[in-house]
Amino acid sequence: KKHLLSISDLSVPEIEGIFQTADSFLDLSSRSVRKVPSLRGRIIVNLFYEASTRTRTSFEIAGKRLSADVINITTTQSSVVKGESLLDTVRTIEALGADGIVIRHSSSGVPQWIAKQVGCHVINAGDGLREHPTQALLDLFTIQKRKKNLSGLTVAIVGDVLHSRVARSNMIAMQMMGMKVRVVGPPTLIPREVQKWGVEVFHNLREGLEKADVIMLLRLQLERQASGYIPSIEEYSRLFGLSPEKLSWANPDAIVLHPGPVNRGIEIQGEELFSDRSAILDQVHHGVAIRMAILYLLMAGGRPEEENRAPA
């Protein structure tokens, strides 16, 4: 494959192949300073039109662990502020020699459009309300690490589904992997079309969490709320924020995920009391290995065999 634009671009065997490759990178992605030469001489540009901590940093670490040269473009410090168009920006980046562009943009569909304009690899790091495929992959990888098998697990995705590209990519990927998906939240934050996506809808947290193996909390996207979506933050938090007491409504070994950044006191109260049932930092840790696997699988093709090998 040349690009990763949507989770639907991938088949189940391809997702499993990404997980196997990520496993082989897991030690390298954390404390070790050792690098592999797989992408030596390749240039990866992180082009982020929206803020990011986890995704941008983990793509940077991932590229560097693979020996690529990684350039971060912060659009507020680029010629975008002088009015340069998206098309001119990506063509300029390609002319500068980029082999891959990792793009985050507030408009849905931008990565697909860019992939038609440039010859280099394009990876979607989050587009508008549409998708965040690498987040879904690291989420599934984290669940698999904790639960061993994905198939048959019940996951409750809780909160602001309406504005969540993370939820969209996960709903597709989780169902591909045989998981039962519920979405839980106030009616104003659950899009109507969700009924067509094969998921169960709950507006009551207790009912939505019953017998759940995995709870995926979503960030309440305060920057995207129109008036009337939530009665008040306090009410949302009271009804849908997860506390140790509400966690007890799920299966006793249920784990908790959150893509971050967390609105502390809104989606989560007293996470420190969740103990090892919180997998939130595991998600961050796994994000590096998953993004290494994606960069490797997309971009290392055609290299000499000895440079083109994932570590054993």
Going by the annotation, the residues of the binding site for L-aspartate are: 82, 165, 219
The residues near 156 (Cβ < 8 Å, ≥ 6 apart) are: 182, 183, 184, 202, 208, 209, 212, 214, 215, 216, 250
Give backbone dihedrals phi and psi of 93, rounded to 5 degrees, phi first.
Answer: -60, -40
Tell the smallest beta-carbon distance from residue 104 to ligand CP (Å). 8
Packing angle, helices 12-25 and 133-147, rounded to 10 = 70
- Backbone φ and ψ for 292, nearest 5 degrees, come out as -60, -45
Minimal CA–CA distance to 238: which of 267, 212, 217, 281?
267
Q: Closest Cα partner for 190 from 222, 238, 230, 243? A: 230
CB within 8 Å of 184: residues ≥ 6 apart:
156, 157, 158, 159, 201, 202, 203, 204, 205, 208, 209, 240
Q: Which is nearer to ligand CP, 56 or 180 (CB)?
A: 56
Closest approach, Cβ 109 to ligand CP, in A, equals: 18
Smallest distance from ligand CP to CB 114, Å: 19
3-state per-residue secondary structure call for 48-100: ECCCCCHHHHHHHHHHHHCCCEEEEEEHHHCHHHHCCCHHHHHHHHHHCCCCE
- The distance of closest approach from Cβ of residue 1 to ligand CP in the complex, given in angstroms and rounded to an integer, is 22
Cα 90 from Cα 88, distance rounded (Å): 6
Hey, what are 283's tokens? Answer: 């998600």
Least distance from ligand CP to the Cβ atom of residue 45, Å: 16
What is the token pair recorded at 172? 């597709």
Residue that the structure tokens 């998906």 belong to:
181
Tell me how far, at minimum, the Cβ of 52 lies from ligand CP, in Å. Answer: 3
d(CA 201, CA 122): 34
Q: Which residues bind ligand CP (CB under 6 A)?
A: 52-55, 126, 135, 259-261
User: Nearer Cβ to ligand CP, position 260 or 270?
Assistant: 260
Compare residues 54 and 246 and give the one whose CB is closer to ligand CP: 54
Provide the annotated binding site: 54-55, 82, 104, 132, 135, 165, 219, 260-261
